[in-house]
Structure 1
C-alpha cells in the first residue's frame, strides 16, 4: 500500500505542476493557436488590404458570390476561427463562392486613412474583383460589427450591383439611450478623439481593447482566466479557448483619422441616422438601399445593443427586409455551439433563397 502511494502522489504532483506551468506560459506569453485555416488565395490587394477567395470544398451551388467585410477593430479570422468552428468554412461547405476583405495591419503611414478611403475606394474595388472573378454582375454583401456600418454606407452609395445585404451586430443608431457605458466612454465631455489621434497617430489596438473590456471588467479580466484554469485542471478541451484568447489580444492599430470620424460623427453626433454623413460630398442616404436585407443582432450584445442595430429597419428602402435577434453576445453569435445552430444556418438559408442555383 505504501509503495503504491509513493508512486501515485509524485505523479499527481507532477501533473499539477505541468498544468500550472502551461497556464503560466499562456498568461505570460499569450495564447497560441492555428486560426484562419480554411484554404484560400489572395485575388486582389490594395495597400495593406487583401481580398481572399476561399477554395470550394464541393461543387458551387449558388451563382451569386458573397463578399464579407469585417471591422477595422480586431482581426477578421474570428469568421474563420478554426476547423469545425468557422462561419466561412460553413458557408463554403454549403456551396457558396465566398470572399473576405481583410484590412490588414495599418502602418504609421496610414494614420490619415478615412471612411472615404475604405467605403469609396476599397470596398467598391474589392466588389468589382469579386464579380469579375466569379463571372457575375452582382454579389451579396455581409458586414460584421463596424464592417456592417461600413457596408451599409457602401450599399447606400453603390446599390446597383448589390443582390443581397446582411448586417450582423452592426451599429447604426448611436443615440445616447442605446449606448450604455459606451455613451459615457465616448461622451465629448470626457473623450477628445482628435487629441488621442494627434498623440498616437494610429490608435493602438490594446487601447481600443481596454475600452471594450471595461464594459464588463470582471468577466473580461477575471472570468477569462478563471475559465482557462478550470479547463486546464479539469482536462477540458482548450483549442477554442486558445483561439478566442489569441483573437481578443490580436487587435490591429486603428487609423487615427478614421477613429476621429467614428467617435465624432457616429458616437458623439449620431450623423448616420440623421442622414448627415457625407463622403467626399456624397450624402449617405440609407433609404437608397433596395436590396433584400437581413439584420442580425445579439440579445446579450453589450458592444452593439439591439436597438442600435434594429434602427436600420426604419431607414432602408428595401421591401424584402428582416430583423433577427439571437440569444447571444457580440462574438458568441459568430462562434461556438450556439452559432452552429443559430447564426450560420440562418444566414445560409436566407441567402440560399435569394442567390439563385447554379
Structure 2
C-alpha cells in the first residue's frame, strides 16, 4: 500500500546579516542623536550679485547658455531655499542651468528681531522688485521669467500685478492664491476668521513668528505622515546614497526661519483671514493689487498629492489673470517631492523653450 505524504509549505527564515544590521542601527542612532555633521547642500556653482540686509541675490550661470531670458526664483518666507538645489542630479537649479538657462535666486535670509517691522510691502518693493532689476542689469536681458514656489508664488504673483519690469513669463508652483480654501484644521481656520485667535497679540509678544512655532504648525498639518521618513530611515540606514539624500531633506525640514512680525500679520489677516488677494482688495504701499494686470505668459503647476496647498487653492489664478497664453499642469507629486524628483526642471523646460528666446548658434 502506497501512502502519500503532504508537503508542508515552509517560509524560509531570512539570512541575518550582522554587518548590515549593525551598520543600519548604528547609522540610524548616530543621526537621531545628532552625532554626524550637517550634510552639504547647495551644490550648483553660484555667485552673489546683490545684497540687501540679510537677503542675497544668487546667480547660477548656465553650463552652456541657450536662452536670452533668464529665470528668477522666488521662494517662501517660511523656509530656506536650498530645497531648490538639494541633491546633485535631481536639483531644480542644477537641472535648469544644464538645460541652458541663467538662473537667479532671491534668498530672503534669516531675519532677526531687529527686522520685525519688515512687511510684505517691503519684501515685494524693496527686495523683490529691486532684485529683479538687478538681475536684468546683471544679465543684460530685456525680459525675465519669474518663478514662484509655494508662498513664493503668492509673493511673485502680487509683485507681477504691480510690476513695472518686463516680465515675459510667470510660473507659480504649489501656490496659495485663494485662501478661502485651507488645509489647516477646521477649528484653526474658524478661530482665525472669527477673531478668536489674535495673531497680532502673538506678534506683539515675540516680534517675529518663531521658527519653532512654524515647525509645530507644519508638523500638526502633516501628522501622522511626518513620522514616515523616520521609518524609511530605519529601514534603509545601511544605504549610503539614501541616507545622504534623507539627511539633506531632514536638514531642510528642520531649518525654518523667523517670519518677520509685520509680514506675518499681513499674511494671516489680509490673505488668510480676509482673502484680499482674490477679492482684489489687497494694496501694497497704496498700489491696488489686481491680478488682472498680469499679462505675462502664465504656467500654473499643482501637485496631485499636495496635502499642504490643495489644487483648489491654486486654480483661481487661471481665471484671475489677463494672460492670453495660460497653461495649467497637474503633476503626480507631493508638495515637497515636486522639487526633489528631477522632473520639475524638465517640465519647466518643455514650457519655457518656446517662450525664452533661443539664442541662434553662429555658423
TM-score by length of 2: 0.89
- Distance between the aligned counterparts of 2:41 and 2:252, measured in 1? 9
CA distance in 1 between counterparts of 2:186 and 2:69 reads 39
Q: Following the alignment from structure 1 to structure 2, what is the Cα–Cα distance between the partners of residues 52 and 160?
A: 19
C-alpha distance in structure 1 between counterparts of 2:153 and 2:22, whole Å:
45
1:47-126 equivalent positions in 2, closer than 5 A: 47-58=53-64, 60-126=65-131
Contact 1:68 1:100 in 2 (8 A): yes
Query: Would you say the 8 A contact 2:183–2:309 is kept in 1?
Result: no
Deviation at 1:159, TM superposition (A): 4.9
- 2:201 is the counterpart of 1:195: yes
* 1:9-28 mapped onto 2 (5 Å cutoff): 12=18, 16-28=21-33
Matches within 5 A, 1:138-157: 138-157=143-162
Q: Is the 8 A contact 2:74 2:147 kept in 1?
A: yes
Give yes or no for the alignment of 1:181 onto 2:184: yes
In structure 2, list runs of 5 or more residues that go unmatched. Answer: 1-14
Q: For residues 183 and 160 of structure 1, do their structure 2 counterparts lie closer, same or farther at Cα, with a shift above 3 Å needed?
A: farther
Rg: which structure is higher? 2
Alpha carbons 1:159, 1:288 under 8 Å: kept: no
Give 1:21 deviation, angstroms: 2.9
Distance in 2 (alpha carbons) for counterparts of 1:126 and 1:224: 36
Cα deviations by residue, 1:111-131 (Å, 9 ceiling, x for unpaired): 111001011111111111111
Per-residue deviation, 1:204: 1.6
Q: How many Å apart are 1:345 and its aligned residue?
A: 1.2
Q: CA RMSD in A?
A: 1.9
Q: Secondary structure at the match of 1:214?
A: helix
| 3-state DSSP of counterpart to 1:172 | coil
Instruction: Report the equivalent of 1:3.
Output: none
1:271/1:129 CA distance change after superposition, 3 Å:
same
Where do 5+ consecutive residues of structure 1 fail to align?
1-7
Counterparts of 1:1-358 in structure 2, within 5 Å, are 12=18, 16-29=21-34, 32-58=38-64, 60-175=65-180, 178-186=181-189, 187-188=191-192, 189=194, 190-220=196-226, 222-233=227-238, 237-336=242-341, 340-341=342-343, 343-358=344-359
Cα deviation for residue 182 of structure 1 reads: 4.8
Contact 1:159 1:290 in 2 (8 A): no
Post-superposition Cα deviations, 1:283-322, rounded to whole Å, max 9, x if no partner, equal: 1000000010001011111111101100111100101011
In the TM superposition, what whole-angstrom CA distance separates every residue of 1:332-353 from its partner, at most 9, and x where no partner exists? 11112xxx34x22111121111
SS in 2 for 1:353: helix
Contact 1:286 1:316 in 2 (8 A): yes
Shift of 1:181: 2.7
* Count, aligned residues: 341
Do the aligned partners of residues 182 and 159 (structure 1) sit closer, same or farther apart at CA in structure 2, a change above 3 Å counting?
farther
TM-score (normalised: structure 1): 0.91
Structure 1 residue 233, shift from structure 2 partner: 5.0
Deviation, 1:142, is 0.2
Partner-residue secondary structure (3-state), 1:215: helix
Q: Distance in 2 between matches of 1:139 and 1:235?
A: 40
